[in-house]
Amino acid sequence: ARRNGNNWIFTCNGTTEPGSTELSSWIIPVSVVCGVVILLSIIVAFLIFRRLQRSAERFLLCKNSQKPVLPKHGEGNFHLFLSHTWVSGADQVGVIKLRLSHLLEGIRIFRDVDDLNDISKLEEHIENSTL
């Protein structure tokens, strides 16, 4: 490479041309390597995500390490009735309901704030809940 005024002249493939560069022979290999690294990073991230997704927390039975099978309930019936004090328990019970919903697929949990439309049916909901 030599300087001609304000311009550099690079030698490439045995010719002298203004603006040509020896670095052009590196562009394709470097681009391929970068592409491969990016692709491998995406594949590894996907595999890690899938593994974490499969190992998500779930309740398993001690006797056979299987997920419990919850009985089917009709409309308005619940597996669990959560009770709380109105003064201070609503938020905590909401968290309990959310966590149990994530841990036990298909569980139906009664919480008054979410499920009670008519206060006169409160006792009916209690009777129609398994626990």
Percent of the chain with pLDDT over 90: 11
Alpha carbon distance 56, 88 (integer Å): 31
Alpha carbon distance 9, 1 (integer Å): 6
Average confidence (pLDDT) over 25-46: 90
Residues 53-99: tens digit of each pLDDT: 665 667 777 888 788 877 776 666 888 888 777 777 778 888 888 88
Q: Which residue carries 């006792």 as its tokens? A: 123
Whether 103 and 59 have beta carbons less than 8 Å apart is answered as: yes
pLDDT of residue 102: 80
**Which uninterrupted H or E stretch holds 24?**
helix 24-54
Alpha carbon distance 120, 30 (integer Å): 73
pLDDT of residue 72: 74
